[in-house]
Amino acid sequence: MASVDISTNGIRVRLHIWDRSQQQVPLLLLHSAGESAATWFDLADQWSMSRTVYAIDLRGHGHSERTARYSLELMRDDVHGVLDTLALDQVDVIGHSLGGMVAYLLASQGRDEIRRIVLEEAPPPLPLIPPRPIPDNPGKDLGFDWQVITDLYPQRNNPDPTWWDELQRIDQPVLTLAGGPQSHIDQDQLKRMSDRIPNATITTIESGHNIHQTQPEGFTAAVSDFLGRQDLSGA
């Protein structure tokens, strides 16, 4: 694995790369809120046996720059800039939770190089009723900027209504992965979102919100079957 800093959208973003000069379509991995690209490292190392893999520390997370404010639109535009820098002909995108929201916002704006998208427990752009209260700052370094939470919770509780409409613009094949009743994400809303995207399917792996960590083999099997071309196991 190599790590580089990329200047994008006026900030510095850390990009982690597993490049074994594979000819398959590369993967771009986006993590959840309060995490970093490190949550993908074990799987990325495995998957890089068959594909080049990229993983981003979203702004305010990991080794990427802490900024004065945070929003889903800013994170979307950061990833937009990383893709411009990479100048890939094709890429498959896997986003977990917050990373999934960034992925569908990006795809709804049109990115021809994105071939297929996996949304792992990505919160749908629908209002939360009742709203989720912003948690108290624990007052210690958690490896990310706590302001990410305070800035993004209002968007999570009351998303821009145009985001729901724009899901219909996504023309790539999409796999929605749901964690089942153990997840805090409304599973009915996940189904509604999947139905809203023209070329989406939904699969439930009953393991809670962090499917790729709690059920890595099942997660890899589902994603590999969806992405096709070559098994992610590296076999």
Q: What is the pLDDT of residues 113-123, one digit of tens each?
A: 999 999 999 99
The DSSP string of the chain is -EEEEEEETTEEEEEEEE-----SPPEEEE--TT--GGGGHHHHHHHTTTS-EEEE--TTBTTSPP-S---HHHHHHHHHHHHHHHT-S-EEEEEETHHHHHHHHHHHT--TTEEEEEEESPPPSS--SSPPPPPPP-SS--SB-THHHHHHHHHHHS--HHHHHHGGG--S-EEEEE-GGGSSS-HHHHHHHHHHSTTEEEEE-SS-S-HHHHSHHHHHHHHHHHH-SS-TT--
Spatial separation of the C-alpha atoms in residues 109 and 145, rounded to whole Å: 27
Token couple for 25: 């379509």
Q: What are phi and psi of 178, to 5 degrees?
A: -110, 145
pLDDT for 199 equals 96
Q: What pTM, to 2 d.p., does this model score?
A: 0.95
Q: Any idea how long the chain is?
A: 235
Residue spans per domain, the chain: 2-227
* Average pLDDT of the segment spanning 184-211: 97
Measured torsion, CA atoms of residues 79, 82, 83, 85, in degrees rounded to the nearest 10: 160
Q: What is the pLDDT of residues 58-92, one digit of tens each?
A: 999 999 999 999 999 999 999 999 999 999 999 99
* Contact between 60 and 70 (Cβ < 8 Å): yes
pLDDT for 20 equals 81
In CATH, 2-227 is 3.40.50.1820: yes
* Average pLDDT of the segment spanning 1-28: 93
Alpha carbon 78 to chain centroid, angstroms: 13
* Average pLDDT of the segment spanning 35-51: 96
Most confident of 110-114, 133-137, 200-204: 200-204
